[in-house]
């Protein structure tokens, strides 16, 4: 073990540029192959920055004003453990979880700054006939979630206060799930209808989710520390919701119906659909090139609001033009009318929403993948609506990176969208759009010359030197300036 703090020299810079503030900058020399992530301790009002390379894990502890309190380093686990898959935190104890590729070998790496202690604890998981669904951290507790093949059984491996993993089994056999053909099927088959392994997109509440993330048909919502929500939009008939209480691990299931349409009506064109969850409401989108339904329900399926627009009518609840962006903000064009908008979004509809000071900033549109070969990372980072949008030798694969994933999610995408504002009951608000802190981060990344030049040097490891996290209601961007060998932390406010 290494308990010797790594060396750095610190100096403070306070200035305003590009509508943001540098709250801390310090000298730091790092290896070329590296990764960063952070843990926010809300109770102690501190942030821990972890820096990983091929030999060690180094960490810096900041107070709420980003003064450096201390640092701690330890050897990284052996190569059996391929990547960091999550973390947990209990008072002064921090645990980083490393996993082998098959996740049967886990290493729980412990850090305690008060005691200046580090240690490693190996954990073996049998994972018999199980497939990984997701690894994530909710409320500073780590969860590794699996599903038993050809069953309705989920297993949760949950971190305890000592960094061990305890197992919980949840049998969902009492519920009826539907496959992509709208026929009853076990949950495993439903989760793997469109892929060999379950593929769920994490949606957190730290930043406005991009259309690229919300376009996924299988999503996991982690904004509530008391529950985890799985949403499945594998047919245009309904959204299937699975809610797991994270205190007693009791499940609930509800199929929230989409507006009913009869085959042959509305231009006799097949429908596509999607959904988004926010504040115990589900926003559902169902469209073809002829008509567009936007519905808001509660979790019991009670309708709060419904909008229906035909292709030859104006969408009177939007607060912006229709836009399309092809790979870059520089390739942005206005779409003239509803008919062209529906024609462009109906195959891959997506809706995203963010609550900013009581107003629901909502983006409706679509996002489709395009090749980003030979495209610069900054040029491939457009401004679609309110939301936007691993690398290194020690990859970080879990949900702590979801904000950065959101930030870069429009890389190599063709995005079509319009922006809408709603009150708490989803009545339309006719007001001007405000710029969120997350939007300011993206504008800053495009305008900051030093960061742009550093980003352009990365190819397969795009954005490996950036972290983004929410702390005390503000959004913070961390960046390693390779040229100056300094680490910088910027603050962005709403």
Angle at 428 between CA 424 and CA 429, to 5 degrees: 85
3-state secondary structure the chain: CCCCCCCCCEECCCCEECCEEEEEEEECCCCCCCEEEEEEECCCCEEEEEEECCCEEEEEEECCCCCEEEEEEEECCCCCCCEEEEEEEECCEEEEEEECCCCCEEEEEEEECCCCEEEEEEEECCCCCEEEEEEEEECCEEEEEEEECCCCEEEEEEECCCCCEEEEEEECCCCCEECCCCCEECHHHHHCCCCCCCCCEEECCCCCCCHHHHCCCEEEECCCCCEEEEEECCCCCEEEEEEEECCCCCEEEEEEECCCCCCCCHHHCCCEEEEEEECCEEEEEEECCCEEEEEEEECCCCEEEEEEEECCCCCCCCCCCEEEEECCHHHEEEECCHHHHHHHHCCCEEEEEEEECCEEEEEEEEEEECCCCCCCCCCCCCCCCCCCCCCCCCCECCHHHHHHHHHCCCCCEEEEEEEEEECCCCCECCCCCCCCHHHHHHHHHHHCHHHHHHHHCCCCCCCCCEEEEEECCEEEEEEEECCCCEEEEEEECC
Query: Smallest Cα–Cα separation from 472: which of 169, 64, 166, 96?
Result: 64
Contact yes or no for 360/421 (Cβ under 8 A):
yes
pLDDT for 454: 56
Query: Smallest Cα–Cα separation from 231: which of 191, 259, 267?
Result: 191
d(CA 128, CA 148): 8
pLDDT for 468: 87
pLDDT for 344: 95
pLDDT for 307: 97
pLDDT tens per residue across span 404-429: 777 777 677 889 999 999 999 999 99
d(CA 491, CA 475): 6
Q: At what angle do helices 437-447 and 449-456 cross, to 10 degrees?
A: 70
d(CA 402, CA 408): 10
Instruction: Give the predicted TM-score (pTM) of the model.
Output: 0.88
pLDDT for 390: 34
pLDDT for 55: 87
d(CA 25, CA 489): 6
The sign of the dihedral angle between the CA atoms of 188, 189, 192, 197 is positive
Q: In a structure prediction context, what are the per-residue pLDDT tens digits for the chain, which is 494 residues long?
A: 443 333 333 333 333 344 467 888 888 877 666 778 899 998 899 999 998 888 899 999 999 999 999 999 999 999 999 999 999 999 999 999 999 999 999 999 999 999 999 999 999 999 999 999 999 999 999 999 999 999 999 999 999 999 999 999 999 999 999 999 999 999 999 999 988 999 999 998 777 888 989 999 999 999 999 999 999 999 999 999 999 999 999 999 999 999 999 877 888 779 999 999 999 999 999 999 999 999 999 999 999 999 999 999 999 999 999 999 887 666 789 999 999 999 999 999 999 999 988 999 999 999 998 753 344 433 334 333 333 223 334 445 544 455 677 777 767 788 999 999 999 999 999 998 888 888 888 778 777 766 655 554 333 344 567 888 889 888 999 888 877 888 889 999 87
pLDDT for 36: 80
């Amino acid at each position: 073990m290494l308990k010797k703090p790594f060396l750095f020299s610190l100096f403070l810079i306070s200035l305003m540029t590009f509508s943001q503030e540098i709250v801390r900058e310090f000298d730091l020399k790092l290896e070329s192959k590296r990764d960063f992530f952070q843990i926010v301790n809300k109770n102690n009002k501190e942030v821990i920055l972890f820096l990983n390379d091929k030999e060690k894990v180094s960490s810096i502890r900041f107070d709420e004003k980003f003064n450096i309190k201390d640092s701690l380093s330890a050897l990284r686990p052996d190569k059996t453990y391929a990547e960091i898959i999550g973390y947990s935190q209990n008072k002064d104890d921090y645990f980083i979880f490393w996993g082998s590729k098959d996740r049967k070998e886990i290493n729980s790496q412990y850090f305690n700054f008060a005691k200046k202690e580090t240690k490693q604890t190996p954990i073996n998981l049998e994972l018999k006939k199980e497939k990984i669904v997701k690894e994530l951290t909710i409320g500073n507790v780590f969860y590794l979630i699996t599903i038993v093949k050809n069953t309705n059984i989920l297993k949760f491996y949950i971190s305890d206060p000592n960094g061990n993993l305890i197992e919980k089994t949840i049998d969902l056999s009492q519920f009826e799930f539907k496959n992509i053909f709208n026929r009853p099927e076990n949950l495993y088959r439903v989760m793997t209808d469109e892929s060999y392994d379950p593929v769920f997109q994490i949606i957190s509440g730290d930043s406005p989710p991009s259309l690229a993330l919300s376009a996924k048909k299988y999503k996991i919502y982690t904004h509530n520390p008391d529950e985890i929500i799985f949403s499945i939009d594998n047919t245009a008939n309904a959204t299937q919701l699975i809610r797991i209480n994270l205190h007693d691990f009791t499940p609930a299931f509800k199929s929230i119906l989409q507006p009913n349409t009869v085959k042959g009506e509305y231009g006799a064109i097949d429908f596509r659909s999607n959904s988004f969850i926010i504040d115990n409401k589900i926003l559902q989108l169902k469209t073809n090139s002829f008509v567009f339904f936007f519905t808001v329900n509660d979790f019991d399926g009670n309708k709060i609001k419904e909008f229906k627009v035909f292709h030859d009518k104006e969408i009177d609840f939007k607060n912006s033009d229709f836009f399309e962006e092809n790979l870059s903000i520089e390739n942005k064009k206005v779409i003239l009318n509803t008919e062209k908008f529906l024609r462009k979004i109906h195959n891959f509809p997506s809706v995203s929403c963010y609550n900013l000071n009581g107003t629901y900033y909502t983006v409706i549109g679509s996002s489709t993948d395009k090749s980003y070969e030979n495209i610069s990372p900054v040029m491939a980072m457009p401004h679609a609506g309110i939301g936007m949008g691993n690398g290194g030798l020690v990859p970080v694969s879990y949900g702590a990176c979801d904000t950065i994933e959101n930030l870069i999610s429009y890389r190599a995408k063709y995005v079509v969208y319009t922006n809408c504002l709603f009150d708490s009951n989803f009545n339309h608000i006719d007001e001007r759009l405000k710029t969120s802190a997350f939007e300011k981060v993206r504008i800053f990344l495009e305008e900051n010359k030093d960061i742009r030049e550093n980003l352009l040097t990365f190819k397969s490891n795009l954005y490996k030197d950036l972290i983004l996290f929410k702390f005390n209601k503000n959004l913070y961007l961390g960046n390693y300036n390779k040229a100056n060998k300094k680490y910088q932390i910027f603050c962005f406010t709403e």
